[in-house]
Amino acid sequence: MDTTHQLSVDEDAGTRLDVLVARRLDISRTMAATLIATGRVFVNAGAQKASYRTEAGDAITATVTTTTERPVVGEDIPLHIIFEDDELLVVDKQAGMVVHPAPGNWTGTLVNALMGRGQGLAEGGGEERAGLVHRLDKDTSGLLVVAKTDRSHRILSKAISERRVSRRYAVMCWGHLDGDTLTVDRPIGRDPNDRTKMAIALAGRDARTDFVRLARFQSCDFLRAHLHSGRTHQIRVHLTSVGHPVVGDDTYGGGGARRLVELPAKRHFLHAAWLVFKHPVTGEAMDFRSPLPADLRTSLGAISEMPEIIAHPDPLEYLGFYRVDG
């Protein structure tokens, strides 16, 4: 099945064509270059090389072939929706739910649940990713914005690419950072030794994460992570690259001592707790917050050994998660 994407050029004028296509479609630069070389990308209805420097006002058409082994069907799966209007909705996703259908997970996903509600979703991302503007890993809980119209999908996707959507995560890592703040600015790509994993890769896509330590416990640091890009497994890979993997992360070396920190199987301590953006149509400031789910709250109590944290109505507020200067 072919999906055609219409891409406009404005603030990102001057960017190489392959870089812009990769960024906008959330694909690798190599894949973008292949699309261009095989005549699947046109600029102002004409062919261009991958090295073409885009200009303001350029109209880019990119056609991507996707393979769907079976149609995506709606399912009656409960969702925790904390906001909804005619243009978008915000979901507080539970850990263990895959976001979109793919081989091995054709049912039970967030997209299946959204389609099961019988309401329209943006089609820009294709059937398997209907409405999705960004994603969360299967075992990461927290906030996701979903577009119900193609207009909102286009505007929100652009806002994310231009870093105008603030996404902050609550994360527990093993060990202790050297200071209270840390910025990891390292490109991420597929691990050449294991294609199911991501890794720091010179040929990967730019990725930056800012970390702030909010509490230091005996064996762990509790951090607020601020994404400036949205690469697959970004926070997990960045923390592993500095020797402090996410607690409970079996994939990237943080899965040991699970019982000591009272985490259930296949769960890591990573939660998309705070999402801030402007409404794509009204321009209204939107600010959504998700408290720690019960399993991470229990783990925080075991790690901190501080009953007063868990006794607070919102441990994140107690730890200063929402206090951001500037």
Q: Is 287 a catalytic residue?
A: no
In the 8-state DSSP scheme, what is residue 134?
A: S
Determine the Cα–Cα distance for residues 290 and 93; give it in Å rounded to an integer: 10
Determine the Cα–Cα distance for residues 140 and 248; give it in Å rounded to an integer: 11
For residue 314, count other CB atoms closer than 10 A to its CB. Answer: 13
Residue among 208, 140, 214, 207 nearest 177 (CA): 214
Determine the Cα–Cα distance for residues 235 and 208; give it in Å rounded to an integer: 9
H/E segment holding residue 184? strand 181-185
Rounded to the nearest 10°, the torsion over CA 82, 85, 88, 89 is 20
- Take residue 109 and report the two structure tokens written for it: 């996903």
Determine the Cα–Cα distance for residues 304 and 159; give it in Å rounded to an integer: 37
Positive or negative, the Cα torsion across 6, 9, 11, 17?
positive
Determine the Cα–Cα distance for residues 213 and 225; give it in Å rounded to an integer: 9
Q: Is 239 helix (H, G, I), strand (E, B) or coil?
A: helix
For residue 200, count other CB atoms closer than 10 A to its CB. Answer: 16
Which of 18, 58, 137, 295 is catalytic? The answer is 137
Tokens 């994407």 belong to 5
**Counting beta carbons within 10 angstroms of the beta carbon of residue 288, is it exposed (0 to 12), middle (13 to 18) or buried (19 or more)?**
middle
Active site residues: 137
